[in-house]
Amino acid sequence: MLAYVTLVTNADYGRGALALARSLRQAGAAHPLVVLATENAGYLDELVAEGCRIIETARPELSAGFQERHSRDRQHSVAPFTKGEKPAFHDPLDNFCKLRLWQMGDYRKLVFIDADAIVLRNVDRLFDYPAFVAAPNLYETLQDFDRMNAGVFVAEPSVATYEAMLAELDQPERFWRRTDQTFLQYFFPDWHGLPYTFNVLQYVYFNLPELWLWPDLKILHYQYEKPWQVGHGKSDELKPLIDLWWQVFEGGTIPGDLPSPFAGAPTASDR
């Protein structure tokens, strides 16, 4: 079997997953969305109504030292986020729940999409990619193509792989600066690179407008500030993308065009 999969750890990400589910349906996805849901997850009834399969999950078995090193307060002091704002509901330890998908042996291949993303166009072709593939962490400069973003990736479940991950993950004093993202890039050093269009980070809209090629963009990922947050510092710059998310969440359609108004953005004559 093949499936899309996302992670819901609280009500905020439940709301995000609902928009993701609706965007996949609108894009004509051929495969279902599976939701890994922790005990604090929300919007599960609504997700079931959208045709999602819910699988209860929990954080991997992690040592007390590991949990202390990766607590929100510790991580934000040792490796602060300086490019954008992480919402208060974000708990870095929850990110490691993603690794549980390698235990999903009922599936031959999975496409993981973060719950703070929406699908703009059909991406079923991702299942044709070999595992492990992910897109670059590209949102500020073109120098970032060598860094992975774990918001979208293709994986093949394997209990042996999961056990090998845990053996590497929870070593004494080991600190994963960007949690699952840093770990996955370490664990899969030869990761294949997806085109950035399969995981376009929202800051591309104003930082790299020359890459904001609307007809080519497949998945929009709201990294840092979330579109349902009220009054965050980048609300004005990101207003068209925030409006787009709400349009999808409320069952609306993806617009035919959404150009970036910032300097360097391509025009129709450039294509």
Percent of the chain with pLDDT over 70: 91
pLDDT at residue 89 greater than cutoff 80: no
Q: Phi/psi of residue 180, each to 5°?
A: -60, -35
pLDDT, position 90: 73
Q: What is the pTM of this model?
A: 0.94
Q: Where does the pLDDT of residue 77 fall: very low under 50, low under 70, confident under 90, or very high at 90 and above?
A: low
pLDDT, position 267: 67
Measured CA to CA in angstroms, residue 70 lies from 36, 96, 166, 208 at distances of 21, 10, 15, 31
- Tens of pLDDT, residues 163-217: 999 999 998 888 788 899 999 999 999 998 999 999 999 999 999 999 999 999 9
pLDDT, position 143: 86
* 2-196: CATH class: alpha beta
pLDDT, position 83: 65
Cα–Cα distance for residue pair 247/218, rounded to 1 Å: 17
pLDDT, position 87: 64
Contacts 24+ apart (CB under 8 A), 35-38: 35/5, 35/6, 35/7, 35/8, 36/5, 36/6, 36/7, 36/8, 36/97, 36/98, 36/100, 36/101, 37/8, 37/9, 38/8, 38/9, 38/10, 38/94, 38/97
- Tens of pLDDT, residues 34-72: 999 999 999 999 999 999 999 999 999 998 888 888 766
Taking the CB of residue 153, how many other CB atoms lie within 10 A of it? 30
Contacts (Cβ under 8 Å, ≥6 apart) of 229: 87
- Tens of pLDDT, residues 4-15: 999 999 999 999
Delimit the domains of the chain by residue range. 2-196
3-state secondary structure of 7: strand
Cα–Cα distance for residue pair 133/148, rounded to 1 Å: 9
